[in-house]
Amino acid sequence: MGISRLKQHLEPFLEAVCLHDRVHPTPGVTTAQHVVIDGPSLVYHVYYRLLSWSHPDLRYPDIQPTCDEVSHGVMLFLLHLTSLGVTIEKVCFDGALPPLKQSTRLARLEKTRKRLEAFRISHSGCLSTSPVPERMTVNRWENVLQSRTLPANLTLVPENHFIVPAVYEDLRQRWSKENILKALPVDSFLRMAANRLASLPWADVTIMVPGEADSYCAHFAKENDCSIITNDSDLLLYDIGSSGSVILVSSMSLAHTYPDNSITAQGICPNTVARRLGLESLLPLAFVLQSNPRIGMGELIRRSKIVDRAPGPAPGYPQFSKEYQTSPGILVDNIGKRYPQSLDTRVSEMVAQYLFPGTYSHDASLSMYLVMLTEDPKRQCAWLQGRVIRVIGYSLFNLTQPIDKRHKYIIEHIRRGGRVTCDMIALENQSSLSAEIQSLLDQLDVVQAKTGIEVDCPVFWRTFALYTIFGLQTTTKTPNLDQLKRLLAHGSMSNNLDWDDVHVLAQIQSVLYSLRILKQLLGISEFSDRQTTQVSAFLAHLPPLHVLMRSVHEMKKELAIFPAKDAINQAILLWDESGDDHGRRERPCVSAGGTQTLKSGDPRSTYHKPTATSRTWPVRPQNIFELLSHQ
């Protein structure tokens, strides 16, 4: 989160920066030719840039930038830097956060939960999709590099929490020279730069680090004597060398002086500012500010000098400064070959707890911090769907570890009712795990056999998710055939999108992302038996995240493709033969219930100590023969 008000206090020390490789720089303007990029910071910057430039008539969910749009925006941002001759040394993504940041993470989750709750209250009625056919997409590349204040009416729009792993995946696998050229407008001057690119221009420099991106960005910046592009004020507190600087990505904009087209920004050299203030570094200033966020600049400098020049360290200062050590303690060299690079941040963090338990395990427990889905906060947490699948992945990876490193439980941090809490879930042993894997295989086989949809098609996976959620049961809460078809085609079960639709879409995301977690954990596990080989073969066809998490708007565009339309008609076959009156049911009103919070500690607390609970699995047939007997 950074130190509160640190940026504001240091604003007078901001200097103009121009990003290019010119031999003759502009007088009085610092030139940045080599950069290290804080990946998550850039991703969220692009997200909010696109949100701020949204068409004023767009409404939620169409107004929310999608994984695909943000990925395009990041690609264009990096391409523009490349076109100016700026060398991108590294793009670092968080692979794990230390236990001391747990309170910060839980505070972020709670802040996100409250934001979603406030959005739900302010949009209690229908959330009908926008009538405006034209979207302000990232193909208007200039929006990514043109600043604009976020309109006040958009401050509560829920964030898309899958954008960071989607961009990380795309930078390593999707954005080849060929795909970049396909994405660029035919009249874009960037096409010339794109033609000079390597096959996958950013795959090798994009890395998942076994820790926080901050410390690795600082390390690489000092090692390569370059600037850091970020919005995180914490990076001002690291030792990045005497000439190292931090460029605020929020200040970056395009200077339309063709053929110059340079990028201007504002930056700070922490070492220079510290010397001007009479300090060894900015750490004492940040330490004082953390305890006194309302203090004025003059008094802040005076107290900082006392801390800086004291014969002994002030209480709490050594622990505070330890957080900003320049050199990471783990795998600094050749990270790409020594640490798994095929994982999303949340999965990477779980793996890091096994690989480096002394650094990343909290109270010797195994934790998974799941993102806050855009769901109906009045309903049961959507993450409960797909938990069976996630536990298969957790358990498989657990069994690949030496016996003394295995865990009996994993703690999932999720929303329960009106608070963020945790569920302690038992991990499976080999025998019970085999039964769960077989059940998953049976379900995948049934969906494929009855629908005939190609497993490479996104509709297949959405159909599987709906099957997992609703099964073949004809309860009063099961949508009818028309509603299921509309849901697959348009993202809503009627003409107007409402909170029932939003919640089902969140449940679909939960199932799909759980499959992704399983795929990634299988990919780094050493199982080669028949069952895991079959599951891996299925999951090899799971689409990339920017496709897997398509928005309502993108699902409608997908419908224009004939194979997708045919696949939706085939998908309904799964339910069409499952009951006599299933297709004639009216859509019911769904009650806004929630799950009871685990009772441990103070019931008024936002965070509760984990209590072991038995899992309540979704009701489903025990095997394929029982399933088919219902038909």
pLDDT at res. 616:
36
Count how many Cα atoms sit within 13 Å of the Cα of residue 514 in the half-sphere of its side chain. Answer: 25
Query: How many CB atoms within 10 Å of residue 214?
Result: 24
- In the numeric block, the tokens 């409404």 are attached to 59
pLDDT at res. 225:
92
85-94, 209-218, 354-363, 530-539, range with the lowest pLDDT: 354-363
Ramachandran area for residue 309 (φ above 0: left; ψ -120 to 50: alpha; else beta): alpha
Q: Where are the alpha helices (DSSP H) in 53-183?
A: 67-83, 102-122, 163-169, 177-183
Q: Identify which has the larger pLDDT, 5 or 28.
A: 5
> Of all residues in the chain, what percent carry a pLDDT higher than 90?
68
Residue 555 banded pLDDT, cuts 50, 70, 90: very high
Bridge-based pairing state of the strands 263-268 and 15-19: antiparallel
Q: Distance from CA of residue 327 to its chain's centroid?
A: 26
The pLDDT mean for the chain works out to 86
Average pLDDT over residues 447-453: 94
pLDDT at res. 372:
95
Residue 23 banded pLDDT, cuts 50, 70, 90: low
Residue 605 banded pLDDT, cuts 50, 70, 90: very low
Query: How many CB atoms within 10 Å of residue 58?
Result: 20
pLDDT at res. 359:
87
Average pLDDT over residues 528-554: 95
Bridge-based pairing state of the strands 246-248 and 263-268: antiparallel
Residue 169 banded pLDDT, cuts 50, 70, 90: very high
Dist. CA 285–CA 278, nearest whole Å:
11
Tell me whether residue 299 is exposed, middle or buried, using C-beta atoms within 10 angstroms of its C-beta: 0 to 12, 13 to 18, 19 or more.
exposed
**pLDDT, tens only, 4-21:** 899 999 999 999 999 987
pLDDT tops 80 at residue 259: no
CATH code: domain 6-273 is: 3.40.50.1010
**pLDDT, tens only, 32-62:** 999 999 999 999 999 999 999 988 888 888 8
pLDDT at res. 579:
44
Dist. CA 435–CA 433, nearest whole Å:
5
Is the preceding omega at residue 25 within 30 degrees of 0, hence cis?
no
Q: Name the residue type at position 514.
A: S
Domain with CATH 3.40.50.1010 in the chain: 6-273
pLDDT tops 70 at residue 600: no
pLDDT at res. 561:
82
Query: How many CB atoms within 10 Å of residue 257?
Result: 8
Dist. CA 164–CA 159, nearest whole Å:
11
**Report field, pTM of the whole predicted structure over 0.85:** yes
Dist. CA 427–CA 534, nearest whole Å:
21
Residue 475 banded pLDDT, cuts 50, 70, 90: low
Beta carbons of 591 and 526 less than 8 angstroms apart: no
Helix, strand, or coil here: 89?
strand
